[in-house]
Structure formats: C-alpha cells, structure tokens
Structure 1
Amino acid sequence: MTTRRTVVGGACASLVAPWLLPGFAQAAEASYPQRPIKLVVPNPPGGPSDIVARFLAESMRTPLGQPLIIDNRPGASGLIGTAAVANAPADGYAVLVTSRSNHIIAPLVQQGAQANPQRDLAPVGLALRAIGVMATPGKSPWRSMRDFLAQAKAQPGKLFYGSAGIGSTNHIAIEQLKSLAGIDLVHVPYKGSGPLITGLMAGEVQLALLDFSSAQSALQSGSIRALAHSASHRLPSMADVPTLAESGFPRFDPSFWIGLAVPRATPAPVIERLSKALDVALAETQMKARAQVNGWELVGGGPKALEATIRQDMDDFPALVQRLDLKS
C-alpha cells in the first residue's frame, strides 16, 4: 500500500539538486566544459601575465570547445585574484593565471594574506618560463657576469642594483644571487619595470634583472648590455651572451614563470582536460612564434611540471624572505 509518507518522500527525492547525485557529477565531468571558462588574471591588463593569458585564451578555445573569458582581478600583489579563484566553485570554470609573484612571494610577504595557494589551489600546468636577463648599463665596463662579480667582490657595498619594487620577483632574485655569489650590492627599488629600465640606462644602478621582452628595445639600442640570461641554452638573438648556468650558477633560476591553477577540490578529469588543452595550445605554430619573439620557453607537460617548480621555489624563497624581513 502506498502511504502519504512514501509519496512525499518520493516527491522530495525528485527535488534533490541533480548535481549532488554521483552519477550527475560524473556525467558533468565527462562533458566538461559546457559553458565559457573564466581565466582570472591577478594583475592589471597589459602586463606579462595578461599578455600570456590572452594568447592562451585564443589557443585553448579550440581544444576545449568553449571560449575563455579574461577576468583581470589586480590588487594585493596578485592575491585578490588568487583568492577569487581559490574560493570559486571547484568545477573548472574559474582558472587562475598564476606566477611566482602571486603564488610564492606575495603570500610570504603579506601578513594575513587573503589566500594560501599551496593549500587552496591545484596545479594544471606550467605554461612557460619568461627568460630573465641580467643587464648592466650600456656604458659599463663589464662584458660578463664574471666581470661584474669580480668587481662586486673587490668593492663590497659600492655597486647598486635595481628592482621593480620591494618584494618584487627581481628584488628577491638578485638577493638570491648575492647569497649564492657571496657579494654585497645596495638595493634601489623603483616603482615598476619602466622606471627600473630608465634608471639602468642612466647608470643609476649597475645591475638589474629584466624580463626578455621588456629589455629588447634597450638591448637593441645598446642602452643596456646583457651579461647573462636564464634560458637553458644560448639564444639566436643573443648568441654571444652566456646562460646563467654557463656563468657558474646552474641552480639559479630567475625566470618569470607563468602557469594555470584551479581550486584544490577540482575533479581530476577536469584538471586533465584543462592540462591537455594547455599542451595543445603550447604546441601551436603561432604560439611557438610568439614565444621566440617574447623570449618565452614553452613548457607544458601536465601538473607535475608546475608542482616541481612550486616545490623548488618553496625550498628557496621562504628563508630568503625571512632573512630580508620582507613583511607588509
């Protein structure tokens, strides 16, 4: 006999949200994505992460079958955008364009940070490494890193290096170089990469770490000179400039990496789909051409490459940030 309780119970069961049922969740993962994906950039438009994001959005659209919409969320050294993705539903429709700046350094520097990327995010893949160039003024006497380091050791505390600001990637990187090389340089923080390059050209500082694309114009004009770079091999456009490994620093990697990450609880099939789409995008002829122009080393290879990069940075940077007392 059918009771009222049975009827009511059956009616209630039919009202259960379908996405709470295991079968529905598995089907949704298998058919992912079914709508546009938000690609969150935790930086303003026009910066390196934003440029890379726009190229990836264009190239990943075909393998995913859905558009990727750029959502710039700058602020708090990238932690506002990072927190927005960390707190988003773990369904693959919010993807973070992440970098060393917001993923590693900002959480170490900022007290009460809005997000903990190590805890809250899962890696999708390492898109690329933007080559870092150790540069000096064009009129300087140094022709190599060894030349510069020799004078720095002979004159401790007499040479200056510039950065894009306290706690910036190039600030932390040159402090790391100081520790590795046993030299004493005086830090001059600028307000961004543009003023830093201007100061280097004018000889206000004797050394700076610049990303390859930002340095190109000044390098070509001779206003600054490259002493070494972070690529794994010599570059056709700077064939006479050695790598940092050739200059005696095989473990020093000041490249500006960019990857993709999603909320930690995102299902593995969704992460795999995004990762494969990233690899397809990086293999495109057009993307390879862009990489050559901008000084990018395309990576890919799934989440493990980004995991390894994050692990290495977490081995290197916390102690250095603590020693420099970089807190905000």
Structure 2
Amino acid sequence: MLNRRSFLAATLAVASAPAAAQTSGQAAPWPSKPIKLVVPYAPGGTTDVVARMVAEYLGQKLGQNIIVDNKPGKGAMVGTALVAKAAPDGYTLLMSVISGLSISPTLYGGADFDPMGDFIHVSIASTNPSVLVANTNFGPKTFKEFVEYAKANRGKVSYATSGAGSSNHLLGARLEQVISAGLVHVPYRGAGPAMIDTIAGNVPVMFDSLPSAAPHIKAGKVNALAVSGETRSPAFPDVPTMKELGYPDLISYSWFGISVPAKTPQPIVDRIATEMQAVLKEPAVIKRWEEIGAEGSTMTPAEVTRFIQSEIDKWTPVVKASGATPG
C-alpha cells in the first residue's frame, strides 16, 4: 500500500506529465484540428464539386473536418498563391487546377509563386473533358450549326467560361484559331456564375467542365453540343466529341488535384497520398465520378509532379500562340 508521501509524489508526477510534454516541444499528432482546403474558384463549378467530395471523404479518412475555402480570382492564381505562402504544416491544402498552375502564369505574364518550387503535388483527384453548352433558346442545336452561325455572325457571338486562364478559356481560344469567327470571350469568377448567365440567356454558349455542367444538361436547362474528350463520355453517350466532328485540335481535359506548400513534412504528404487513393476507391466517389463524367487517378506524388510539369510544358506555348488575354 502506498504511504502518504509516495501517493503525493505519484499524483504530482501524473499531473505534471502534460506540461512536461508541452515544454519538451513534442508536436501533437497530425491532424489534430480541422484542415482547410482552398479552392481557387467560386462555388458551383467543377473545382468546387470535386473539392467538396474530396473534403467529405478525405476528412473521414483523416478523422478531421476539412473546410472548403473558396478563393477565386485571376485565373485561379489568387487561391493558389495563398497556399504557396501558407505554413507547411498540413493544415492548408490546395485544390490544384490546370489553370492556376499550367495556364494562368503565362496568360497573366507571371505569378508571385513558382508552380513547381512552391508546392508538393500529392494527388490527382479527377480528370474530365469539357463540354460546349448552349442556352435552350439559342438557334444552333448542334456543334456544326454553332460553327456555321458563328462564322455568319463574325464578332457577334460570345462564350462564357469560369474565368480567364481556365482550360475552357483556352479551348475557346483554340476553337477561334480554327474557325476565325471573332468569338468573344466573357470570363466569370467561376463556373457557377457563368452557368447562371448562360441559362438566363445573357450569353448564348459556355465552355464548361463536364462535371459542373452535367446536372444542368440532365435537367434540360442547357443543350450539350459537343465534348472535348478523345472519346464520348459514358455519362453522356449521345453527345458527340469535337474530334469526331472534325476538330481533333480541340481534344482537351481538365484535372483537379491536391497540392500542399513546399517543405510540408514527408509523413504528412505520404498520409494524404495514401488516404486519397482510398478515397478514390470509395464506391460513392466512383459512382459520383461516373455520373458527372469524371475519372480518378492512381498517380503517386512523384508521378503527379512529372505530370504537372508536362502540363506546364504543354500549355505554355499554346497560350503564347493563341494570343489569348486575361480579358
């Protein structure tokens, strides 16, 4: 049996243990608090759709809430720059996109971050083609009719996108290079606002990523004229590809990934990569991706890094040759 002196000593030792752990500088296991996922576009677009699915299921895997934080602007570079400057502690993630890392830095003449040096690129959550959709009251009902109409009304046909520097902006610019119809780009601060104006008829057509356009197509709010994939989307088998309609130069895909600030500890990077692969195997996520015409990726962080570098190498000359501007 403990005597009084031994009992007091033992009690004091237990009581002082947390303080000793704090003063020793021992870090709490990651993650020990909610995580922020910065989305560089406004709510309602594909980036936001993918981000919220990732936040829900990755949060479950990590045992912490993941809070989606929309920071649109400057072709996705505003939100991207915020994460580049964030503490590398695993509590600020970026929903990285083709525009913010591979297109906008060239389109805007530079960025205040290094797309490769300021990040560790961890995972690709989904890839998907784009789709050209039209207001239901717009005359042309097929892609061929749209091209003929645009040529007959040179300089008078506008198209909406989620913003300057988006892959959809470049897709529109490439179409303009091919048909020389004087198409007018109308950039928005996200796909959501752009789709609202397309449905309302304020702009006749919109280039959008298929996942964000999918529910509006299915609801009959817009007409799908063509998709930009190599093959038809299983989610919309009746919608032709631009390639099969005679425009192979318009094959284009968007991608959405998870990146973290450079110098994030390797164990955290590895944990996110592992759990993201588990997320992409979830039946609910697979089903959702199929419904919206998206596809998951099994790339490792090293493969993602090489992929994003290849996208920068691919899109930089395209932006320069297109003559596209932020406006």
Asked if TM exceeds 0.5, the reply is: yes
Shift of 1:249: 4.5
Q: Secondary structure at the match of 1:56?
A: helix
Shift of 1:240: 1.6
In structure 2, the partner of 1:163 is 160
Verify the 8 A CA contact 2:126 2:256 in the aligned structure 1: yes
Verify the 8 A CA contact 1:130 1:257 in the aligned structure 2: yes
Shift of 1:114: 3.3
Q: Does 1:262 align with 2:265?
A: no
Shift of 1:229: 1.3
Seen in structure 2, the aligned counterparts of structure 1 residues 197 and 48 have a Cα distance that, compared at 3 Å, is closer
Q: Among the aligned pairs, what percent are the same residue?
A: 27
In structure 2, the partner of 1:297 is 295
TM (norm. structure 1) is: 0.73
Q: Secondary structure at the match of 1:117?
A: coil
Match of 1:272 among 270, 275, 294: 270
Shift of 1:277: 1.0
- Supply the distance in 1 between the matched residues of 2:83 and 2:119 (Cα, whole angstroms): 8
Q: Deviations 1:38-83 (Å, cap 9, x if unpaired)?
A: 333334455543332232122123443x314325151543434323
Q: Does 1:315 align with 2:314?
A: yes
- Supply the distance in 2 between the matched residues of 1:275 and 1:238 (Cα, whole angstroms): 31
Matches within 5 A, 1:3-18: none
Compare 54-63 and 136-145 and name the one that shifted more.
Answer: 136-145
RMSD: 3.7
Q: Does 1:67 align with 2:64?
A: yes
- Supply the distance in 2 between the matched residues of 1:158 and 1:306 (Cα, whole angstroms): 40
Verify the 8 A CA contact 2:232 2:241 in the aligned structure 1: yes
- Supply the distance in 1 between the matched residues of 2:322 and 2:249 (Cα, whole angstroms): 20
Letter in 2 for 1:242: P
Seen in structure 2, the aligned counterparts of structure 1 residues 300 and 234 have a Cα distance that, compared at 3 Å, is same
In structure 1, the partner of 2:99 is 101
Instruction: In structure 1, list runs of 5 or more residues that go unmatched.
Output: 1-16
Letter in 2 for 1:70: I
- Supply the distance in 1 between the matched residues of 2:210 and 2:326 (Cα, whole angstroms): 29
In structure 1, the partner of 2:114 is 116
Letter in 2 for 1:119: G
Letter in 1 for 2:186: P
Seen in structure 2, the aligned counterparts of structure 1 residues 327 and 131 have a Cα distance that, compared at 3 Å, is closer
Matches within 5 A, 1:129-140: 129-138=127-136
In structure 2, the partner of 1:145 is 143
Q: Secondary structure at the match of 2:116?
A: helix
Q: Deviations 1:71-101 (Å, cap 9, x if unpaired)?
A: 5151543434323322234343332111123
Aligned residues: 300
Q: Does 1:187 align with 2:191?
A: no
Verify the 8 A CA contact 1:162 1:196 in the aligned structure 2: no
Q: Does 1:79 align with 2:39?
A: no
Verify the 8 A CA contact 2:44 2:212 in the aligned structure 1: no
Letter in 2 for 1:261: S
- Supply the distance in 1 between the matched residues of 2:300 and 2:185 (Cα, whole angstroms): 38
In structure 2, the partner of 1:246 is 244
Q: Deviations 1:126-167 (Å, cap 9, x if unpaired)?
A: 1112442112344556554345445656x4825613123761
Q: Secondary structure at the match of 2:295?
A: strand
Q: Deviations 1:11-31 (Å, cap 9, x if unpaired)?
A: xxxxxx988xxxx9xxx8xx9
Instruction: In structure 2, list runs of 5 or more residues that go unmatched.
Output: 1-22
Seen in structure 2, the aligned counterparts of structure 1 residues 94 and 198 have a Cα distance that, compared at 3 Å, is closer
Shift of 1:205: 5.2
Letter in 2 for 1:84: L
Verify the 8 A CA contact 2:100 2:165 in the aligned structure 1: no
Letter in 2 for 1:239: P
Letter in 1 for 2:160: S
Verify the 8 A CA contact 1:80 1:114 in the aligned structure 2: no
TM (norm. structure 2) is: 0.73
Letter in 2 for 1:122: I
In structure 2, the partner of 1:225 is 223
